[in-house]
Structure 1
Amino acid sequence: MSDAPTPDEVWGQLTHLVMDTRDGWRRAVVERTGLPFSRFRVMKRLLPGPISVKQLAHAAAMDAPAATVTVNDLEERGLVVREIDPTNRRCKLVSLTPTGRELILDALATPDPAPSPVAALTPAELRTLAELLRKLEE
């Protein structure tokens, strides 16, 4: 019998570390933007470029009606715009306005210090962890 953890156990540890230690950063983003964090999450998905509301809903793991409500709110705030897709005139694409892009880029600059368990690692441990994470990104 092996003492090695399963991939699912390691994944659980990784997600717990990331998801459960970012509350301070999330609050700082909300304060910095004046938006609910859910709106920030949606807008961040628009950084690469315009996408349809359906694609946005899928990317943000929300249903289409919720995505529409979100886009309506962001549009009223002047942060996103809907335009007809030039390749499919029946579809509308959502994109960030210059103000929306500036807001998201500013929010992404919010300091996000490492949680104490990561900050406590030795330089050698950090190097090993960074190497492993790079391997996972491949």
Structure 2
Amino acid sequence: MPADTPTPDEVWALLTHLVIDTRDQWKRAVTERTGLPFSRIRVLRRLRPGPKTVKELAHAAAMDAPAATVTVNHLEELGLVAREIDPANRRQKQVSITAAGRTVLNTALATPDPAPASITALSNEELRALHEILGKLQH
């Protein structure tokens, strides 16, 4: 590999920093639109594919179990999630998103998320190249 070729880890660090460092404005807008802390939206999003136990949800949302329990309790009080007995293991409960929860999640995900200045400053050629590369990473 030529000396001026960045490592995959270096490229990944740049990519993640770009995304993480520019998402705060969008997260604030989501919070304003929904009236919920962004952590609640993150949990609702993890429930979109289907029910999870609180332990699975905690893992999926990168939270500890007590924080996940507090979050689920809050979302349940708001009618955004429901707890049901797990048919595969009657000793535990699964959490699922309700219709109201889906509405809130859809509102959150519909919040405009314009590209940061560093992306809008790219030329058409650079945008096409970046789009092509990112498309390859999705498959």
For the residues of structure 1 that align with 2:65 and 2:28, how far apart are their CA atoms?
Answer: 26
Q: Does 1:117 align with 2:124?
A: no
Identity of aligned residues (%): 69
Q: TM-score normalised to the size of structure 1? A: 0.96
Look up the match of 1:96.
Answer: 97
- What is the one-letter code of the residue matched to 2:9? D
Which runs of at least 4 in structure 1 moved beyond 6 Å after TM superposition? none
Describe the superposition over 1:30-58 as per-residue Cα deviations: whole angstroms up to 9, x where unpaired: 00010111111111111111111111000
Deviation at 1:90, TM superposition (A): 1.3
For the residues of structure 1 that align with 2:90 and 2:121, how far apart are their CA atoms?
Answer: 54
Look up the match of 1:60.
Answer: 61
Gaps of 5+ in 2: none
Q: Give the total of aligned pairs.
A: 138
For the residues of structure 2 that align with 1:31 and 1:95, how far apart are their CA atoms?
Answer: 24
For 2:6, what is the secondary structure of its paired residue?
coil
Look up the match of 1:79.
Answer: 80
Gaps of 5+ in 1: none
Query: Equivalent residues in 2 for 1:1-138 (5 A)?
Result: 2-138=3-139
CA RMSD of aligned residues (A): 1.0
Q: TM-score normalised to the size of structure 2? A: 0.95
